[in-house]
Structure 1
């Protein structure tokens, strides 16, 4: 338990700085929530896995601190709805469903609240969280804050580059679309469903519970893989910044990833605010135009799922089609050659160009795709 005890001590020191007005019991409740029930698991983690676990705890803590801790129950719940409702793709899906349903008067927020309430009442993970939070604290106000923070973190977990809540909403549509006493199935047989079903083309029954457990396991694995990729990118980029910009750039990045504003970073680093803004622009330039393009392109592309070969630079099918139609024949030829996995040197030789010319054209293509992917 030495690692867990060390983590608890670190979190206690941080809470005393960030939340000086709370008592020791509140600190201990938050720490128990962050560390989880199984403290022995920390002893079995490798250094990289422990770093991921610490980042996950830091992420949950910042959610709690920024939106729920010390906030009244009604305001905290509105914060959760506002945060989840800001997901553009989810809002669009809900709007489309409402416009096509018989209940066109319903608002997006009403449907979103139904999905969240259903999650809180039926999702196995959130039920486990509720049970654990009950053991962590007897303060109803704090329990409410911890639960809402857990719900937000869970709903935003990335699954195949989309928030988990989006898939839960799709499941909600399937149940609501085929359920209800007034809905009579047409062309389908009504079946009694148990824990096991017998497929028509198989001799052995398939357990529905096993499928659910497998889906949850895959979601957890995808989240852990994404966190591992994020850690690798962060470590490599920090090393790059120290070598090219200086140690202060690494300090800025650490504070920025903690969610600090530029004014807070300036006070912490004891630097003029203008210097911090110039540093931010410099780091942003190196991140996009140098590190992601020239130093570690594959590492960044795999993390963001923006590789040319597998993810079409992170563009949706419609965006990709629009993007390709805007290219010149020469740019399209270069893109096709890059998609085959050829190196810049080999492409330069094929096109009778210099390598730096090919690199320059590829940079323009990459930045144009990212601008289309994340419009301002």
Structure 2
């Protein structure tokens, strides 16, 4: 028997009052709305969303939360054998991967229409800037790690960016070569 949204609301409201007594009621309601706002198909998913928010982002400032997010995502990506292989073959250092990962996340935030829709929805949940930032960071982690063909979505974004990065120096080199040839042509005329 599946629980209705109203049943879940009651159960989780009671739980949040017990587990987050330091939070005012308005914040608990915002957290509850964020929890129930996602695509939840099981109690485990709801629990997972809550655990990510509470353990990683709810009690830290936005800078620390961002560092935690990037570090967590980088560790998860490095744990994938294909990412380690890319790094080894390309001579990519851990710092290079972090920079590339930050670029990928920034591109996702700036250009992904589904993500931008989520951010607009989160903005309506609370007026509290810190809580809204915690929602964004937790949601970004969840969104980056949702599974597509058995791999995290971030894996595909990272692979695409990595391929682009490998192609870019070749394109730039060809452009430099072409412009140097043009200089030779014009000076010989």
Whole-angstrom CA distance in 1 between matches of 2:43 and 2:173: 48
Whole-angstrom CA distance in 2 between matches of 1:85 and 1:156: 11
Higher helix share: 2
Q: Would you say 1:153 and 2:142 are equivalent positions?
A: yes
Whole-angstrom CA distance in 2 between matches of 1:21 and 1:114: 36
Whole-angstrom CA distance in 1 between matches of 2:109 and 2:85: 21
User: Closer, same or farther in 2 for the Cα pair 1:178/1:29, shift >3 Å?
Assistant: same
Cα RMSD, aligned residues only: 2.8
Q: Would you say 1:110 and 2:99 are equivalent positions?
A: yes
Please name the residue that 1:7 is paired with: 8
Please name the residue that 1:18 is paired with: 19
SS class of match (2:42): helix
Please name the residue that 2:69 is paired with: 80
- 1:337-376 correspondence to structure 2 within 5 Å: none
Instruction: Tell which structure's C-alpha radius of gyration is larger.
Output: 1
- 1:26-45 correspondence to structure 2 within 5 Å: 26-36=27-37
Considering Cα pairs closer than 8 Å and 6+ residues apart, tell me whether 1 or 2 has the greater RCO.
2
SS class of match (2:91): helix
Q: Would you say 1:133 and 2:125 are equivalent positions?
A: no
TM-score, normalised to structure 2, is 0.77
Equivalent residues of 1:85, 1:91 under 8 A apart = no
Between 60-69 and 174-183, report the one with greater CA deviation: 174-183
Whole-angstrom CA distance in 2 between matches of 1:112 and 1:16: 37
Runs (4+) of structure 1 exceeding 6 A deviation are none
Work out the number of aligned pairs and report it.
Answer: 169
TM-score, normalised to structure 1, is 0.41
Q: Would you say 1:58 and 2:50 are equivalent positions?
A: no
SS class of match (2:102): helix
Cα shift readout 1:224-257 (whole Å, capped 9, x = no counterpart) = xxxxxxxxxxxxxxxxxxxxxxxxxxxxxxxxxx
Cα shift readout 1:314-357 (whole Å, capped 9, x = no counterpart) = xxxxxxxxxxxxxxxxxxxxxxxxxxxxxxxxxxxxxxxxxxxx
Whole-angstrom CA distance in 2 between matches of 1:33 and 1:69: 12
User: Closer, same or farther in 2 for the Cα pair 1:30/1:97, shift >3 Å?
Assistant: farther
Equivalent residues of 1:33, 1:146 under 8 A apart = yes
Task: State the shift of 1:177 in Å.
Answer: 4.5
Please name the residue that 1:95 is paired with: 87
Please name the residue that 1:248 is paired with: none
User: Closer, same or farther in 2 for the Cα pair 1:175/1:124, shift >3 Å?
Assistant: farther
Cα shift readout 1:126-147 (whole Å, capped 9, x = no counterpart) = 2111111101111111111111
Q: Would you say 1:119 and 2:108 are equivalent positions?
A: yes
Task: State the shift of 1:3 in Å.
Answer: 2.1
